[in-house]
A = this chain, B = another copy of it.
């Protein structure tokens, strides 16, 4: 048999349990706080927004959380996701490094977001919560939830950052194809939206603003829940399927653990999803993978933010989360970093970073797209704008290895497909992209 280019798993190899790194952290991560009392959040405090199944996961300290059979069944539409050896990219670079990538772009909406959208819709449906509200930036999360909710007969109400809603209509169309309602944010539909428009006329919007609107709407409708596509612990837990599969697949390639793991980080769920199962190996002393979070220079929460309690949204409606943050009123420049343009970083990722368990770099968009084009031409996959940031970090490392004559194993988390990001590629290729 020829050396494989990619390794498949069987459907039976889809993980039966999600992995929760809280059980393995050397120190416990700081709790979320009640925004009024500033006391550690009690499970009941979240009942207006989330079903009990997800609240339990948010606070769980169990290492393994069983994936419901119904969720695994739906995962089978696109999982297990392939792990590729980037042989053609290695050859194009002339590198001495070995490069692998785990590709999440074959999901229904072209990104890893469905890994959490499906269980979130499921646990809500179990408890009869048949309307979900959410925010979305580039639309990856919104389209994932639109897909997942219609499976369970739920309605889906999405606030999309206005700038993207107007400028990049394809993912809005995708959400609508799955039957969701999409409203540009800030909107007139909520008090939060009206107040934000009054304070920031002509704002392009932000994820924090859209979250405020979706949270307000869910809180005032007893049959509704709010759903968040990243940041929170239960989302991070769901995404662990990525890394759990990648571990098995690297093993099939005959690799123990990568020397480097690069993944893009916005809210943190993609990074955590692929990295935490590998971080577990590090913590247990079985490996020493250098895990590198790649964030956009235009929203550099890990590399430039403060580690403190902050709100998840722009209007101060969410619990206080201990995280690296640029401030909850941060409005990013309209760079092409898609869903990475969030003011904060998942508390579990922030904790790991604070404890020195992972590293972070900030990547400018031109460097990101230059790497994306190189990757596309070699591997045939046009990566999502988010994923380009991880690829840029990885290619830098591969070039360094080549100069130094070393042969590290590099794993890249390619979180999604960039077919709907082609206007950004076009801007890059035309030379008109700002170096921001």
Contact surface of A with B, Cβ cutoff 8 Å: 1-2, 4-6, 8, 10-12, 73-74, 76-78, 84, 88, 106-110, 114, 147, 150-151, 169-170, 173-174, 176-179, 373, 376-377, 379-382, 417, 419-420, 422-423, 425-426, 429
Contacts and interface: CB of A to CB of B under 8 A. Distances in A.
Nearest to A144: B380
Contacts of A373: 177
Contacts of A107: 380
A78 B379 CA distance: 9
B425 A173 contact: yes
A177 B74 CA distance: 33
A84 B78 CA distance: 10
Contacts of A151: 88
A313 to B, nearest CB: 29
A382 B426 contact: no
Name the residue among A74, A114, A419, A429 with the largest chain B CB count within 10 angstroms.
Answer: A419
Given A2-B12, A6-B11, A8-B8, A377 B419 contact: no
A78 B381 CA distance: 9
A429 B176 contact: yes
Contacts of A179: 377
8 nearest A-B pairs in the assembled complex, by CB-CB distance: A108-B380, A173-B422, A5-B76, A173-B426, A8-B8, A77-B380, A177-B425, A170-B422
Contact of A423 (B173, B419, B426, B429): B173
Contacts of A11: 2, 4-6
Given A2-B11, A74-B88, 16 more contacts: A1-B10, A1-B12, A4-B10, A4-B76, A5-B73, A5-B77, A6-B11, A8-B10, A108-B381, A109-B380, A147-B377, A173-B422, A173-B425, A176-B429, A177-B426, A178-B377
